[in-house]
Amino acid sequence: MRTVNLLRILTSLVLATGLALASFSSLAHEKEAHATGKSGRVPMPVLNINTDKGDKCVQPEDIMRRDHMKFILHQRDKTMHEGIRTTQYSLKNCIDCHADVKTGSVLGKDGFCESCHRYAAVQLDCFECHSALRDASVLKNGAATAPPSAVRALNVSQKKASEPAKGMKP
């Protein structure tokens, strides 16, 4: 095939791919927090985090977003086979902070784990067996205790983390 033709084909392919990617990403970065099926898209994750225990997760956010499974998998093997029950990476500890303030669970429409996993379309297997509820000692009468004194709403878009998104509690 002649080089000129090949170049033309390649260029058009690259342009087409670029256009497609650009359009998809612009759609994804819209500001609606709860698109409840009006446009048919998966709702953006809801992240109301209980900051009673502190403002930070056990690892920085960007590391946790990518690598939280690595910590969980390593911890589970140590706990199961060696009985090491350190709390830093234990699932109970995660749930204690991240469980929704109203439902006390990390599952459900407003659940920390489920809403993000649903958005990312990644199967969530843990809660087939594990309880998704905040530790019963914190829970009274099956409901969460009084809302934590400090709740930081996390906006999933790339805007500044301190700016609350529409519809979320400040």
Binding site for other proteins (CB under 8 A): 76, 78, 80-87, 92, 95, 128-131, 133, 135-136
Q: Identify the CA nearest to 100 among candidates 59, 62, 46, 60.
A: 46
- Can you tell me which residue has the tokens 């791919």? 17
Task: Provide the minimum distance between the beta carbon of 165 and other proteins in the complex, in angstroms, as a whole number.
Answer: 31
> Which residues are within 8 A (CB) of 86 and not within 5 positions of it... i.e. 6 or more apart?
75, 78
Rounded-to-integer distance, Cα 15 and Cα 96, Å: 47
Rounded-to-integer distance, Cα 69 and Cα 110, Å: 21
Largest CA distance in the chain: 76
Q: Based on CB atoms, which residue is closest to other proteins, 92 or 159?
A: 92
Task: Provide the minimum distance between the beta carbon of 155 and other proteins in the complex, in angstroms, as a whole number.
Answer: 30
Task: Provide the minimum distance between the beta carbon of 92 and other proteins in the complex, in angstroms, as a whole number.
Answer: 6
Task: Provide the minimum distance between the beta carbon of 79 and other proteins in the complex, in angstroms, as a whole number.
Answer: 9
Q: Based on CB atoms, which residue is closest to other proteins, 13 or 84?
A: 84
Q: What angle do CA 163, 114, 147 make, to 5 degrees?
A: 55
Q: Based on CB atoms, which residue is closest to other proteins, 97 or 165?
A: 97
Q: Based on CB atoms, which residue is closest to other proteins, 8 or 85?
A: 85
